[in-house]
Amino acid sequence: MQPDLSLVFSAHGTELRRYLNRRLGDQHMASDLVQDTFVRVIERPETRVQDFRAYLYTVARNLLLNHLKQEARRRTDVVAPETLGDIAADQPSPEEAVDSRLQLERIHLLVQELPRRTQEIFVLNRIDGLTHAEVAQRLGLSESAVQKHLALAIAHMTRRLRAR
């Protein structure tokens, strides 16, 4: 049986945030990764864990490594103008474009099922790319309220997507 995640979050959320902040030097991104850690745990309720703290650190570390890899990929290197013609266009196939469009429409419908405030928070964070702190400031909420709304939104969407 999985422990009460609100108690686990209360017990380990701050500790995880400090751990990630030390490695990133960005407390907002650290908060986002803590939130994503708990989302991953929510999305895998069937996972049996003996040491929940160690499991949280493993998930957080993996998310941190993924984040760092993405940051490295986003860096741009200077390329000589004459080599630009050799770079292939990165366009999806027509089938991939249709599939992506259908997935986007499905997610849009799922977001519309959420309460209004939760929709707004989800869109600001996941679509517009605002951090939890930025969403909280914009809407006059606490960061923990933003995190709770996001956890509810993601749990709802995960349930609905699994039910397909």
Q: What is the pLDDT of residues 16-55, one digit of tens each?
A: 899 999 999 889 999 999 888 888 887 776 667 778 788 8
Query: How many whole angstroms separate alpha carbon 111 and alpha carbon 153?
Result: 8
CA–CA separation, 156 and 62 (whole Å): 24
pLDDT 10s digits, 101-126: 888 888 888 889 999 999 999 999 98
How many whole angstroms separate alpha carbon 149 and alpha carbon 28?
17
Question: Tell me: the pLDDT tens digits for 61-72?
Answer: 999 999 988 888
Distance CA 28, CA 138 (A): 15
Domain 94-162 belongs in CATH node 3.40.920.10:
no
Mean pLDDT of the chain: 84
Give residue for tokens 């959420």: 114
- Listed in sequence order, the residues at least 6 apart from 104 whose beta carbon sits closer than 8 Å to its beta carbon are none
* C-beta of residue 60 within 8 angstroms of C-beta of residue 33: yes
> pLDDT grade, residue 134 (50/70/90)?
very high
Residue type, 4: D
